[in-house]
């Protein structure tokens, strides 16, 4: 319930900024809309701490996942830039239980299907040629983990967590014909942590319509009441870009 209220509040901030942009000139306000697909490789491992099952050989469950992004950059230096993003994530793994004395372990499979929704708010500290900002990225990971051991019924667990991450973003030539964006986000709590890194090339082909190309890595290491997870998802993405 708190996560939903948090994201409703973040969306309200985003919409208020968009509404405020209608009262300013087009040369003062900037924004972007992107839609594309992310193709990634998955690596890492998951351990079911309840039944002592190790899931290894983590791999992606599809050829790619779609993403959508909305962004607005206000004209005033001390007003934050806001980006709202949503993308999918799916992975699978083979499982093996520990044996007991002379008894062999059993095998099985596991899969996960998540929706990643994030809003980032960054304050631009440098705006001359490079738009360098620091802020926070609030990411919600919402989905299901399904596992099935041989000869047993499948079990599905819901996972819904929110990560508030410190964010650093740099847009090089942000309002030029071609711009480069580099960003990283990080949070750690004890042994749990999440680390994101991304680099993008934004290329308006026939302004304001264009293309974007990029690489990103998303790594998660956390422990719940049932699972210990250490996984990374890394790959390239490409999409259509409307930049104004």
Give the pair of three-digit tokens for residue 75: 């004209």
Give the pair of three-digit tokens for residue 51: 């039944």
C-alpha to C-alpha distance for 142 and 208, rounded to whole angstroms? 33
Give the pair of three-digit tokens for residue 81: 């830039």
Instruction: Determine the longest span between alpha carbons in the chain, in angstroms.
Output: 76
pLDDT, tens only, 109-143: 777 788 999 999 999 998 888 889 999 999 998 98
**Pairing relationship of beta strands 65-73 and 192-206 according to DSSP bridges:** unpaired
Report residue 172's pLDDT band, with 50, 70 and 90 as the boundaries: very high
User: Which letter does DSSP use for residue 99 in this model?
Assistant: P
User: What pTM does this model have?
Assistant: 0.77
The alpha-helical segments, DSSP class H, found in 35-125 are: none
C-alpha to C-alpha distance for 83 and 104, rounded to whole angstroms? 51
Shortest CA distance to 30 belongs to which of 207, 186, 169?
A: 207
Which helix or strand (DSSP H or E) is residue 182 part of?
strand 179-189
Contact 39, 236 (CB under 8 A): yes
Report residue 215's pLDDT band, with 50, 70 and 90 as the boundaries: very high
C-alpha to C-alpha distance for 69 and 10, rounded to whole angstroms? 14
Contact 119, 86 (CB under 8 A): no
SS3 76: coil
Q: What is the pLDDT of residue 207?
A: 78
pLDDT, tens only, 62-113: 667 899 999 998 877 678 999 999 999 888 877 666 544 444 456 777 777 8
C-alpha to C-alpha distance for 16 and 12, rounded to whole angstroms? 6
Q: What is the pLDDT of residue 175?
A: 77
Higher pLDDT, 161 or 7: 161
Chain mean pLDDT for the chain: 80
Q: What is the pLDDT of residue 13?
A: 45
């Amino acid at each position: 319930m708190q996560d939903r209220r948090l994201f409703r509040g973040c969306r309200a901030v985003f919409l208020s900024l968009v509404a405020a942009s209608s009262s300013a000139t087009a040369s003062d306000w900037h924004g972007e809309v992107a839609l594309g697909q992310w193709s990634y490789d998955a690596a890492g491992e998951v351990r079911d701490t309840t039944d002592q099952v190790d899931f290894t050989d983590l791999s992606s469950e599809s050829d790619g996942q779609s993403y959508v992004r909305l962004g607005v950059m206000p004209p005033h230096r001390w007003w934050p830039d806001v980006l709202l993003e949503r993308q999918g994530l799916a992975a699978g793994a083979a499982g093996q239980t520990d044996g007991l004395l002379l008894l062999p372990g059993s095998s099985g499979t596991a899969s996960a299907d998540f929706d990643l929704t994030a809003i980032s708010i960054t304050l631009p500290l440098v705006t001359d040629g490079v738009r360098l900002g620091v802020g926070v990225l609030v990411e919600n990971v919402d989905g299901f983990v399904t596992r099935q051991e041989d000869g047993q019924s499948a079990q599905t667990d819901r996972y819904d967590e929110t990560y508030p991450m410190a964010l650093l973003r740099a847009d090089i030539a942000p309002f030029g014909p071609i711009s480069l964006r580099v960003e990283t986000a990080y949070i750690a709590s004890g042994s749990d942590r999440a680390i994101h890194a991304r680099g993008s090339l934004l290329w308006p082909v026939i302004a304001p319509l264009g293309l974007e190309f990029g690489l990103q890595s998303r790594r998660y290491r956390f422990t719940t009441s049932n699972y210990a997870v250490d996984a990374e998802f890394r790959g390239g993405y490409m999409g259509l870009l409307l930049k104004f």
